[in-house]
C-alpha cells in the first residue's frame, strides 16, 4: 500500500503528539466486576456491558483513553480515535 506523503507527514505528527501525552495510572479493578447497585456511572456502564471478551469497541473522541484501558483488561478488541487539545 502506498501512503501519500501528506498522510505520512500527518501520521508522523500525530505519533509525535501522542508521545507527549502523559496518562496517569488508573485502577481498573473497580471496572472488572462492578456491582449493579454502584453509585458511580462509569462502573454502572461496565456492569451493563457485561462480558466484553472479543467484543469490538470503537471509541471516537476517547480523550486520554482511560476507559479504553479498563476495556482492554476486560478483553475487548479496541479501536480508538484520540483527540488531543491544541
Q: Distances from the Cα of 62 to the Cαs of 8, 69, 70, 78, 84, in angstroms?
A: 23, 11, 13, 11, 10
Backbone angles phi, psi at 75, to 5 degrees: 95, 10
Instruction: Please give the Cα distance from 66 to 27 (Å, whole number).
Output: 10
Residue 76 near residue 52 (C-beta atoms within 8 A): yes
Residue 81 pLDDT grade (very low, low, confident, very high; cuts 50, 70, 90): confident
**pLDDT of the residue at 44:** 93
Q: Which of 60, 55, 78 is nearest to 68 (CA)?
A: 78
Instruction: Please give the Cα distance from 72 to 81 (Å, whole number).
Output: 15
Predicted confidence (pLDDT) per residue in 17-54, tens digit: 766 665 556 677 888 889 999 999 989 999 998 888 88
Amino acid at each position: 500500500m502506498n501512503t501519500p506523503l501528506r498522510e505520512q507527514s500527518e501520521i508522523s505528527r500525530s505519533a509525535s503528539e501522542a508521545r507527549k501525552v502523559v496518562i496517569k495510572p488508573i485502577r481498573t479493578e473497580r471496572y472488572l466486576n462492578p456491582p449493579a447497585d454502584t453509585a458511580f456511572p462509569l462502573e454502572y456502564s461496565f456492569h451493563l456491558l457485561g462480558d466484553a471478551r472479543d467484543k469490538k469497541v470503537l471509541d471516537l473522541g476517547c480523550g486520554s483513553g482511560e476507559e479504553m484501558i479498563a476495556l482492554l483488561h476486560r478483553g475487548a478488541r479496541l479501536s480508538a480515535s484520540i483527540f488531543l487539545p491544541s
